[in-house]
């Protein structure tokens, strides 16, 4: 059950990051939109969790940084 959740969350992460990129690229969202940052942050968390489960540390490090950037951007937007 746990492994299935991680797989689904990992796929969500991939879809969320691609969706965020597409929405900004086609001017549906702006880069300073909270929804853009939420998609990036939660997407990075999904890929991070899956990467850790599979012991793929390079994408794990990338997604820690990706999620941290999104988190800081969300704080900047809200405060």
Provide the number of structural domains found in the chain.
Answer: 1
Within 10 angstroms of residue 69's Cβ, the number of other Cβ atoms is 14
* Domain encompassing residue 41: 2-78
Token look-up 């800081």 returns 72
Question: Is 64 in a helix, a strand, or coil?
Answer: helix
pTM above 0.95, yes or no: no
Give the length of the chain: 79
Q: What pLDDT was estimated at residue 79?
A: 94
> What is the per-residue pLDDT across 1-38, written as a single tens digit (0 to 9) for each?
999 999 999 999 999 999 999 999 999 999 999 999 99
> What is the per-residue pLDDT across 47-70, written as a single tens digit (0 to 9) for each?
999 999 999 999 999 999 999 999
Distances (CA, A) of 78 to 34, 44, 50: 8, 20, 29
């Amino acid at each position: 059950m746990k492994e299935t959740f991680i797989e689904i969350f990992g796929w969500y992460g991939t879809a969320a990051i691609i969706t965020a990129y597409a929405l900004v690229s086609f001017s549906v969202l702006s880069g300073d939109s909270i929804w853009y940052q939420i998609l990036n942050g939660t997407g990075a968390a999904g890929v991070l969790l899956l990467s850790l489960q599979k012991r793929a540390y390079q994408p794990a490090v990338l997604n820690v940084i990706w999620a941290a950037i999104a988190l800081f951007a969300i704080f900047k937007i809200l405060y």
